[in-house]
């Protein structure tokens, strides 16, 4: 017990130093992450910016956000600045991971707003749920509806497989089972939204390893009323796209605001 308490204290000190200095970036961040991995700790309760989270050390997304408040700052600020101006706003998070975007933005949205987190990994869904409960414990996002849909987004209802060989937070969908895969349900996004009684989307974030085009196009092409006003989607796996998603969005009236190292930020005026 004493060793565990000492390791928790050491981890909290490292995190505090990292967040209050340049050590949360670049090579220094990698050093701190490696140091944390040597500590026998499953999770740490800390804050990302000012929002409480349960951070697990087996997930690179959680580890990066744990030691650096600037993680995905441009993308998150872009979404926050749009959503907090809207009453009864709706944010859809496709590929929600442990809920960093969903939970943080839920804490910033106006009362009566809704967040829908779509995530196929049951372990990640459990983490999203626990983080949502933590918000309630801290009296944050009291009047925000946070819903979790455990599925991946596909073109039809079918069983696919989630390969976990790259880690719980870096899983990818495969058609055939592998020795490191679990079966998950795939659902069309329009059916998911219809089931959730969502008829408009203020903002959407999509991070699904190269299937962003197949998630977004049904909303833009087949259901104009559901076309999100603001888009944030990953383009680093654009080689898996069936067409140039960015150009397609522009053709449907979206303006490209910015590209970060991994994501494209767009808005429809």
Of the chain, the end-to-end C-alpha distance in Å amounts to: 57
* Strands, sheet with 254-259, edge to edge from the N-terminal-most edge strand: 145-149, 114-118, 90-94, 203-206, 230-234, 263-268, 254-259
Domain match, 192 and 234 both: yes
> For 220-231, what is the mean pLDDT?
90
Domain match, 48 and 80 both: no
Looking at the structure of the chain, the number of domains it has is 2
Whole domain around residue 249: which residue ranges? 73-268
pLDDT band at residue 153 using 50, 70 and 90 as cut-offs: very high
CA distance 159 to 136: 34
Domain match, 124 and 204 both: yes
> For 84-106, what is the mean pLDDT?
97
Domain match, 105 and 219 both: yes
> For 59-86, what is the mean pLDDT?
94
Domain match, 97 and 42 both: no
pLDDT band at residue 74 using 50, 70 and 90 as cut-offs: very high
Amino acid 158: pLDDT: 92
Model confidence at 131: pLDDT above 60: yes
Domain match, 77 and 63 both: no
Domain boundary among 48, 67, 86: 67
Instruction: Give CA separation, 83 vs 51, 57, 132, in Å.
Output: 17, 30, 18
- The residue with greater pLDDT, 217 or 21, is 217
Domain boundary among 67, 99, 115: 67
Domain match, 190 and 256 both: yes
Amino acid 165: pLDDT: 84
Domain match, 52 and 178 both: no
**Phi and psi at residue 126, to the nearest 5°:** -65, -35
Domain boundary among 11, 45, 67: 67
Domain match, 142 and 18 both: no
Domain match, 33 and 156 both: no
CA distance 269 to 255: 8
Domain match, 38 and 77 both: no
Q: Which helix (H) or strand (E) is 127 found in, with range?
A: helix 122-137
> For 23-31, what is the mean pLDDT?
58
Amino acid 31: pLDDT: 67
Domain match, 111 and 240 both: yes
> For 122-130, what is the mean pLDDT?
97
CA Rg, the chain, in Å?
Answer: 19
CB 171 within 8 A of CB 121: yes
Structure tokens at 155: 């073109």
We report the CATH number of the domain holding residue 235 as 3.40.50.150
């Amino acid at each position: 017990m004493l060793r565990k308490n000492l390791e928790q204290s050491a981890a909290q000190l490292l995190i505090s130093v990292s967040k209050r200095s340049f050590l949360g970036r670049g090579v220094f961040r990698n050093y701190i992450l490696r140091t944390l991995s040597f500590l026998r700790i499953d999770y740490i309760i800390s804050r990302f910016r000012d929002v409480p989270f349960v951070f697990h050390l087996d997930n690179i997304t959680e580890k990066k956000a744990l030691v650096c408040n600037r993680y995905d700052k441009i993308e998150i600020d872009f979404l926050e600045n749009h959503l907090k101006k809207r009453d009864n706003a709706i944010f859809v998070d496709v590929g929600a991971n442990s809920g960093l975007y969903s939970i943080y933005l839920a804490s910033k949205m106006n009362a009566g707003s809704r967040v829908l987190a779509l995530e196929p990994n049951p372990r990640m869904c459990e983490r999203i749920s626990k983080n949502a409960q933590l918000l309630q414990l801290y009296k944050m996002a009291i009047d925000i509806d946070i819903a979790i849909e455990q599925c991946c987004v596909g073109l039809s209802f079918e069983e696919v497989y989630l390969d976990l060989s790259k880690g719980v937070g870096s899983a990818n969908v495969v058609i055939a089972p592998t020795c490191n895969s679990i079966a998950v349900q795939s659902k069309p996004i329009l059916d998911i939204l219809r089931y959730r009684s969502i008829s408009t989307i203020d903002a959407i974030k999509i991070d699904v390893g190269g299937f962003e085009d197949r998630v977004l196009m049904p909303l833009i092409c087949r259901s104009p009323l559901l076309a999100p006003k603001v888009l944030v989607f990953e383009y680093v796996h654009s080689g898996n796209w069936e067409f140039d998603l960015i150009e397609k969005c522009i053709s449907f009236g979206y303006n490209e605001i910015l590209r970060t190292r991994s994501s494209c930020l767009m808005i429809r005026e």
